Structure 1
């Protein structure tokens, strides 16, 4: 019994020892879980507290924004009301201004028109060199969008007075002048009212933008100079009367005169073909002059030979007569052939050079046509490169085309006329030679007939009855 009790006790002790470790481990996990739960609750409370603070902060910001929106809305309403009131007030003021100004608007328009009319005189005319002290008032009135003030109106009146006074004065000025080599030198010039600016070499073109003067390339015949004006202003030339050509259009006519090309410019525009045509014309005229003198001298000598037929000279008719004197013992047929040969030789000598004139007269228009075609080809090439919007780009080719045609016709007409005149003179001389030759042949034939009649008569007298 005791043994059984002891075994039971041992067994219970062993069993209790076996379950102690798991129970302790479970208790440790429970405590750890509780601690984690407490920590989690603490964190949740902190988060809730943070969320509550953030919500309160956002609620405050929302309230501030609502207050600002309400304030801005009230301000917007106030500004809209103020804008509407200002529009009404502005409309009433504009109406009052229109009623109060009355004809001042028309006056402003007239003032601006006058200012625009005198602006070219103030800014671009030669009077701007030494008479533009009030040009700023003119520019201000032109650019203004409101009624001009009294000082501006006074400045406009002073500017008008200044221009009127300058247009009636002859004054000496010093202006920069562009020389032919491109250098700019200050030279003394004279301003003739508002019409012209005269330098040492003639009229000057005033460039108001660059504020310098350029000499007109094409001056009139009676052109004044600064030295001539200086002599007139001095005591030595006070009583001298001078006549000059003045451009009343204030440089427009002189500018247009520059655009008119001179004869040299036209010849240069014709190019190489034009020079060849002029060379042919010169050679042809020399040939015509030489042959004309030769034919005129021949005609004079022939007239003298006709007056004195017995005195045989060195001329076409004299050579025909010398051939007759040498060959008068031949038969009529042989003499006629010899005289015809001499006439042909003289005709060849008389017509020498006329074929060359005829060739030049026919060649000149053909060369002109060649220059025309060449110029048009050049014009089309320029059009291909630059288009046809600017006529100045095509001016060179067109000028060459037209000038060569003109030169060809100009060269052909005198050459044809000279050829016709010289051919007529040669034909007249040839007719005289043929007429005289026929007369000599007829005289020889009559002489032979008389000799034959005399010989037949002698034979009849010698025959017995």
Structure 2
């Protein structure tokens, strides 16, 4: 390689020298003379290189011989190693057969132990007992790895340890135990607290439910706690001194509670309705305030009318008294005139008794229509999400569907009570108006009876 490099460098030098001479020549004769001299010099250099190559030929032959010897030794060693490898394979097979024959039924036992250790390891990852007894999974990891290797068998101590862990898990699952450990609060702060473990099901502290996080080996409060009914039983258990108390138990070890706390509460469901939902709620509150005012007003007016029915002295603080005052103010009027006067007074009292009842009825009709508007808007949003992102992820469509359903529910929740309230208030107002009409008819009949003898005498 060095020789080839040297030859190439010499040729490059010669070429450069020829180019230099060509540049120095002033005419063709000078150029021809310079080329001739260059050929003579190049011939001498070639002879020198050829002599140098021949002198190193013996060295190249020796290097070739050494390489051939190295190759022959490597081939011989490869054949020896291949034969040794085949012998080792045969030996390993013979020893494996002998080991299987000696193990017999123990091989099935070790297979069962490996399966049990794997199942127990997955159980420990979610068991709340691990919050009180940490580090149980380390032994199972080492045991499962050793059982997975065919070169190592389980020892008596390891089998007894596995049995002990099974027995301890079963025993602790039937106990209610209090212990102290660090708890991560919902705001991220950490504090040493007394934790109560209810069997292998739940952890509570200070009346709140906790969860065991296997990845970090920590115990943390649930970000959202279950209903007040469940929290009440947790508080009772925390305050108990060994006596039996009722407790809301999660038999799945916390899985059901974790799902329940993810369900949206009333405020979150209302928020899902969006602006349309808030408009419906606002209209419902307005209708409720109007209905409350009408209930109070009609209740007071009804009581005054009932008191007026029990006396003949007319009072102007109630509709019936004002109707009766018409008779007192028109003692000399004939029956037809009095009838007209009473009708006029009753017609003047009706708007006061039926005031704002129409608004309640309108709200009972408009609320479900607004809910339908929210339904259509929510479905439009859903179809837009489907157009943009497809149907691969249902969560992208959940917002529009939630708005559609929640607004419909809110519209019905407002409309149904408004219908009953409107009917009830109309019934009360119509009852008072009927009393006015009945008393008016009685007054006219009384006046007609008084006029009849006078007409006969005339």
Which stretches in structure 2 are left out of the alignment for 5+ residues? 1-42
Question: Compared with structure 1, are the counterparts of its residues 398 and 174 closer, same or farther at alpha carbon in structure 2 (3 Å cutoff)?
Answer: farther
Contact 1:202–1:223 (Cα < 8 Å) also in 2: no
SS of the residue corresponding to residue 165 of structure 2 reads helix
Deviation at 1:97, TM superposition (A): 4.1
SS of the residue corresponding to residue 247 of structure 2 reads coil
Contact 2:207–2:231 (Cα < 8 Å) also in 1: no
Deviation at 1:418, TM superposition (A): 0.7
Question: For residue 189 of structure 2, what is the aligned residue in structure 1?
Answer: 183
Question: For residue 354 of structure 1, what is the aligned residue in structure 2?
Answer: 357
Matches within 5 A, 1:25-36: none
Q: Does 1:323 align with 2:326?
A: yes
CA distance in structure 2 between the aligned counterparts of 1:379 and 1:333, rounded to whole angstroms:
68
Deviations 1:392-422 (A, max 9, x none): 5665555444333322211211111110111
TM (norm. structure 1) is: 0.72
Matches within 5 A, 1:270-419: 270-271=273-274, 273-306=276-309, 308=311, 310-313=312-315, 314-373=317-376, 398-419=401-422
SS of the residue corresponding to residue 345 of structure 1 reads helix
Among 224, 242, 258, which residue is 2:234 paired with? 224
Question: Compared with structure 1, are the counterparts of its residues 62 and 210 closer, same or farther at alpha carbon in structure 2 (3 Å cutoff)?
Answer: closer
Among 154, 157, 161, which residue is 2:163 paired with? 157
Deviation at 1:443, TM superposition (A): 4.9
Question: For residue 110 of structure 1, what is the aligned residue in structure 2?
Answer: 112
Which stretches in structure 1 are left out of the alignment for 5+ residues? 1-39, 233-237, 456-465
CA distance in structure 2 between the aligned counterparts of 1:47 and 1:195, rounded to whole angstroms:
93
Deviations 1:370-411 (A, max 9, x none): 544555566667778887655556655554443333222112
Question: Compared with structure 1, are the counterparts of its residues 82 and 411 closer, same or farther at alpha carbon in structure 2 (3 Å cutoff)?
Answer: same
CA distance in structure 2 between the aligned counterparts of 1:317 and 1:226, rounded to whole angstroms:
60
Which deviates further from its counterpart, 421-430 or 313-322? 313-322
- C-alpha RMSD over aligned residues: 3.7
SS of the residue corresponding to residue 247 of structure 1 reads coil
CA distance in structure 1 between the aligned counterparts of 2:53 and 2:281, rounded to whole angstroms:
111
Deviations 1:323-373 (A, max 9, x none): 233335334443333222212112111101202212322333244345445
Question: For residue 73 of structure 1, what is the aligned residue in structure 2?
Answer: 75
Question: Compared with structure 1, are the counterparts of its residues 202 and 50 closer, same or farther at alpha carbon in structure 2 (3 Å cutoff)?
Answer: closer
CA distance in structure 2 between the aligned counterparts of 1:303 and 1:344, rounded to whole angstroms:
20
Contact 2:110–2:154 (Cα < 8 Å) also in 1: no
Question: For residue 135 of structure 1, what is the aligned residue in structure 2?
Answer: 137
Question: For residue 9 of structure 1, what is the aligned residue in structure 2?
Answer: none
Deviation at 1:83, TM superposition (A): 4.0
CA distance in structure 1 between the aligned counterparts of 2:50 and 2:266, rounded to whole angstroms:
109
Matches within 5 A, 1:38-57: 53-57=55-59
Contact 1:122–1:132 (Cα < 8 Å) also in 2: no
CA distance in structure 2 between the aligned counterparts of 1:198 and 1:109, rounded to whole angstroms:
38
Question: Compared with structure 1, are the counterparts of its residues 174 and 221 closer, same or farther at alpha carbon in structure 2 (3 Å cutoff)?
Answer: closer
Contact 2:128–2:212 (Cα < 8 Å) also in 1: yes
Question: Compared with structure 1, are the counterparts of its residues 270 and 224 closer, same or farther at alpha carbon in structure 2 (3 Å cutoff)?
Answer: same
Deviations 1:252-286 (A, max 9, x none): 23223312333344345445554443343333233
SS of the residue corresponding to residue 175 of structure 1 reads strand
Aligned pair count? 406
Question: For residue 192 of structure 1, what is the aligned residue in structure 2?
Answer: 198
Contact 2:207–2:232 (Cα < 8 Å) also in 1: no
CA distance in structure 2 between the aligned counterparts of 1:386 and 1:156, rounded to whole angstroms:
51
SS of the residue corresponding to residue 402 of structure 1 reads helix
Deviation at 1:423, TM superposition (A): 0.9
Question: Compared with structure 1, are the counterparts of its residues 227 and 253 closer, same or farther at alpha carbon in structure 2 (3 Å cutoff)?
Answer: closer
CA distance in structure 1 between the aligned counterparts of 2:236 and 2:424, rounded to whole angstroms:
54
CA distance in structure 2 between the aligned counterparts of 1:328 and 1:226, rounded to whole angstroms:
77
Deviation at 1:114, TM superposition (A): 1.3
SS of the residue corresponding to residue 249 of structure 1 reads coil
CA distance in structure 2 between the aligned counterparts of 1:249 and 1:302, rounded to whole angstroms:
64
CA distance in structure 2 between the aligned counterparts of 1:421 and 1:436, rounded to whole angstroms:
23
Matches within 5 A, 1:441-460: 441-445=444-448, 451-455=454-458
SS of the residue corresponding to residue 224 of structure 1 reads helix
